[in-house]
């Protein structure tokens, strides 16, 4: 079974700075998809960014980018120019051939003014 590990339960960053959230996963599959979801205090689950394993190019969405290292099974999220509205729980998720999402336990990010 696939597992997703987020090794940082909590992180903090100053407004306007850059922060990187870590995610590693374990799978024997070669074709899969990876996602980062954001859960602000409003408790909604919001898709931040996604990556296909067969693509070598790292995905980017505005201030959010990933560092995808397939051999190392690592999928970190970088947030540039952090904003107060980025304060949230961030979940890394894996989807393989079973079509089910497997989530990590989350990282609580606080952006300080």
Contact call for residue 70 and other proteins (CB under 8 A): no
Contact call for residue 72 and other proteins (CB under 8 A): no
What are the φ/ψ torsions at residue 47 (nearest 5 degrees)? -70, 130
Tokens encoding 17: 């700075």
Among 11, 67, 103, 110, binds other proteins (CB under 8 A): 103
Contact call for residue 99 and other proteins (CB under 8 A): yes
Q: Which residues bind other proteins (CB under 8 A)?
A: 9, 31, 33, 35, 42-45, 47, 50, 52, 91, 95, 99-101, 103-106
């Amino acid at each position: 079974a696939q597992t997703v590990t987020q090794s940082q339960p909590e992180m903090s960053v100053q407004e306007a700075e850059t922060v990187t959230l870590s995610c590693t996963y374990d799978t024997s599959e070669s074709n899969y998809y990876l996602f980062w979801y954001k859960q602000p205090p409003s408790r909604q689950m919001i898709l931040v960014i996604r990556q296909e394993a067969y693509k070598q190019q790292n995905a980017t969405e505005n201030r959010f980018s990933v560092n995808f290292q397939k051999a190392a099974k690592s999928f970190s999220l970088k947030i540039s120019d952090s904003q107060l509205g980025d304060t949230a729980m961030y979940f890394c998720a894996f989807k393989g051939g079973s079509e089910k999402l497997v989530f990590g336990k989350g990282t609580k990010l606080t952006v300080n003014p």
